Amino acid sequence: MNDFRTAALDRLTAADPGLVRLRLAGSAVLGIVVAVAALLPAHLPLTVILVGAIAAMMTAFTVNDPTPGAQAVTLGLAFLTGAASITVASLGSGLPPLDSVVFVLLIFVAVYAQRFGTRGTALGSIAFFLFFFPMFLQAHVKQVPQLLLALAVGVLANAVVRFLLLRRNAAAEFLRVRRAFRARLGAVVRATEAYLAVNGSERTRKQLRSAINRLHECVLLIEDAAPDVVDARAADRLRRRAIEVELAVQWLAITVQRTCSDELATEVRDDLIARLARFRALMERDPRELPLISQTGEYSRMLVEGSRIDSHAAPGDGVRKALAELALADDRAQRAAAPESTADPLDTDDDDEPAPRFAYDNRTRSAIQAVVGGGLAVLGGELVSHQRWYWAVLTVFVVFIGASSAGATFVKGVRRLGGTLIGIVGGVLLALLVGGDTAATLALILVCVFGMVYTARVSQVAMAFFVTSMLGLLYSLLGTFSLEVLWIRVAETAVGAAAGILAAVVIVPVRTRAVMLDDIGEVLDDLEEFLEHTRGLLAGEENVNIIELSRDLDRGVEQVRTTVEPLTHPVNLRSARRDYGWHVLTTLETIAFRARHVAARAQPGQLAGADADRLRLFTGRLLRNIDVLRKALDAPGGADPGTLVRDDGTPVSDRVEAAETRAVLSSLSHLDEALVSLGRVFGVQATDPRAPARP
């Protein structure tokens, strides 16, 4: 039983590092319970109590400011925003044209507010949903004082839960993130075992890639959570060590894939799988017990066998060595988590220019599209149901929130419709299951709220399923449940999705490729800044924290991953477009991987003196190639941006004796190759210095 509980906790921690989503979902449910418990003694109508519960849920779901003080300010503004929405919605209920006009205008405000960061997104969403739910509950003007009281209670309930009952514990969250890191590290090793067992297959390759991506997400979480627990120097040291582990994991995966390309004897394959399994067993220990891994006999054997230097290398030695390097990197990372660790000096200068608050860009165009889509949804929704047209408008809002292109809107619309269809079945079954039992209905509603908040960040289909199931239960609670109502909900969702997609495609359309090119341009800007400061660091001219710069590059690549999803998603039936998207993403991931490798190994003054001139020539060529790529992105298919200058084949690490320095320069060379590969995607020619000169 204990083993089952431990395994279940490990899987939960691996799926939700730091248990952040679990805490948010628990806050939403507990906030609803507190709000309802506070309102019940007043014997208010059910619709009023539901508004208080909705306020508690929405504030838990949307208010995500980084500090408690900022969260308190946003909660206060949420009350004012929600009060205005509830009042206008109640007034508009008696003036049918007014409610639809204001509702559509609110879409513009909510979508445009995303440019103001987390607070803008939260207040825009709260304003929209607290306008929507009074319409759904058919609130009247006479109920406004009671509704405002319920809103205040709901906001206060969330504040009590947020700041007292389920207060964030940074140290415990950091430990959970470390546990998740080890669980995901074990998942990567398990994926390499599966890859080896079948000698490589498309299915195991995708599993390995997915496991590595999930580990990368966890490394970023460790870096974000560390400064709240340890001092700045220790946090910087931990960042460096975490990157080393990530690099070692990726190198292990690459080595396993290369090993599988050769013929392996059965006994060699079995031996490698057994070694990976033993290493995984060490990884699954509680991080508080570490670095005791370095005191085990298995760890010592891995280091000895992995450091073998033999002119007659045995099959599988590459995997053994990669495994030893991973064990060593992991041990260093665990030691770096100690508070007494020291680190390199930090450069805390922040030269980022603030983004313009008001500008005509993709956000503004999305807001305009959302307004047009909302207007079409009102017209189409009225044709389906004169009473429930607002479901179509809600769908338009949902598909435009977070969508930056027509392709992203299409994918979100399809997911929303699919989740709603599945949720219809769930709502019917749950409503029939409870059979009018109020207590059971309320309990299942809380379960649906928990599922909605818990899955919101990872699966739109699952979130739509829980939302639709919850609505079916609410209809049952209000005494208006019927299968016809749920099918109207499906029809309105389809109308809203179609209206949103039509507006995104026809009204000032934002193509996925255009957004992708903008995002890649920002990645190139981050890469340029990274290379300039790396050159200064290696030459001994400046002492900067290039790990932070490499992480900016990482986040830029993650943004590209989100942007190109409409190209790589299975809903895209054109295989050429999917291959194109995957090639762009893979190339950028290679660039980010090599930058992480440089950041983990680079030290001040590694190439000072005579080697500094060679470094300047090399990085200067890389920076010029970035300029060529940027011109190609700024004018796709236009004037000739120039030609990329390829390396002449002479290793830049030639005549460098230190292994760490050679590793840094080797990664820079691979980064050079990746830039040329990226240029090939966009039709930019590259020179071949080894070709004979033309007369």
Token representation of residue 189: 């090793």
User: Residue 198: CA atoms inside 13 Å, Cβ hemisphere, count?
Assistant: 13
Mean pLDDT of 626-638: 82
pLDDT tens digit string along 543-598? 777 877 887 888 888 888 888 888 877 766 677 777 888 888 888 988 988 888 88
Write phi, then psi, for 338 (nearest 5 degrees): -70, 140
pLDDT of residue 638: 61
Q: At what angle do helices 232-260 and 317-336 cross, to 10 degrees?
A: 170
- Max mean pLDDT among 26-35, 204-213, 379-388 falls in 26-35
pLDDT exceeding 90 applies to what percent of the chain?
Answer: 12
Is residue 475's pLDDT more than 50? yes
pLDDT tens digit string along 122-141? 999 899 889 888 887 777 88
Mean pLDDT is lowest, of 430-434, 452-456, 623-627, for 430-434
Mean pLDDT is lowest, of 101-105, 136-140, 450-454, for 136-140
pLDDT of residue 149: 94
Write phi, then psi, for 605 (nearest 5 degrees): 75, 20
Mean pLDDT of 314-331: 76
Mean pLDDT of 625-653: 75
Residue count of the chain: 695
Distance CA(39)–CA(34), nearest Å, equals: 9
409 within 8 A of 365, measured Cβ to Cβ: no
What is the secondary structure of 243-257 as a DSSP string? HHHHHHHHHHHHHHH
Give the end-to-end CA distance of the chain in Å, rounded to a whole number. Answer: 80
Cα 199 from chain centre: 31
Higher-pLDDT residue of 217, 51: 51
**At which residue do the structure tokens 């044709």 appear?**
383
Distance CA(554)–CA(591), nearest Å, equals: 9
The Cα diameter of the chain in Å comes to: 95
Distance CA(293)–CA(299), nearest Å, equals: 6
Residue 686: strand pairing partners: 644
pLDDT band at 354 (very low <50, low <70, confident <90, very high): very low
pLDDT of residue 291: 43
Token representation of residue 600: 């983990």
Residue 644: strand pairing partners: 686
pLDDT of residue 284: 60
277 within 8 A of 193, measured Cβ to Cβ: yes
Token representation of residue 208: 């390995």
pLDDT of residue 695: 42
pLDDT of residue 679: 87
Query: 299 vs 184, 304, 320, 323, CA distance in Å?
Result: 20, 9, 12, 10
Locate all alpha helices (DSSP H) within 385-511, ordered by sequence: 390-400, 406-434, 438-455, 460-478, 483-506
Classified as helix, coil or strand, 188 is helix
Distance CA(668)–CA(548), nearest Å, equals: 18
pLDDT of residue 299: 52
pLDDT of residue 310: 46
Is residue 652's pLDDT more than 70? no
Question: Among 213, 247, 182, 224, which Cα is nearest to 602's?
Answer: 247
Q: Which residues contact 201 (CB under 8 A, 6 or more apart)?
A: 195
Burial class (CB in 10 A: 0-12, 13-18, 19+), 31: buried
pLDDT of residue 356: 54
Token representation of residue 496: 């809203």
Is residue 388's pLDDT more than 90? no
pLDDT band at 78 (very low <50, low <70, confident <90, very high): very high
**Rg for the chain, CA atoms, rounded:** 28
Distance CA(438)–CA(432), nearest Å, equals: 13
81 within 8 A of 123, measured Cβ to Cβ: yes
pLDDT band at 29 (very low <50, low <70, confident <90, very high): very high
Instruction: Share the mean pLDDT of the chain.
Output: 79
Query: 69 vs 20, 63, 338, 451, CA distance in Å?
Result: 19, 12, 29, 28
Query: What letter would DSSP give residue 352?
Result: P
Query: 104 vs 109, 185, 397, CA distance in Å?
Result: 9, 47, 9
Beta strands in 567-607 (DSSP E): none
What is the secondary structure of 614-656 as a DSSP string? HHHHHHHHHHHHHHHHHHHHHSTTSS----B----S--TTTT-
**At which residue do the structure tokens 């390499």 appear?**
192
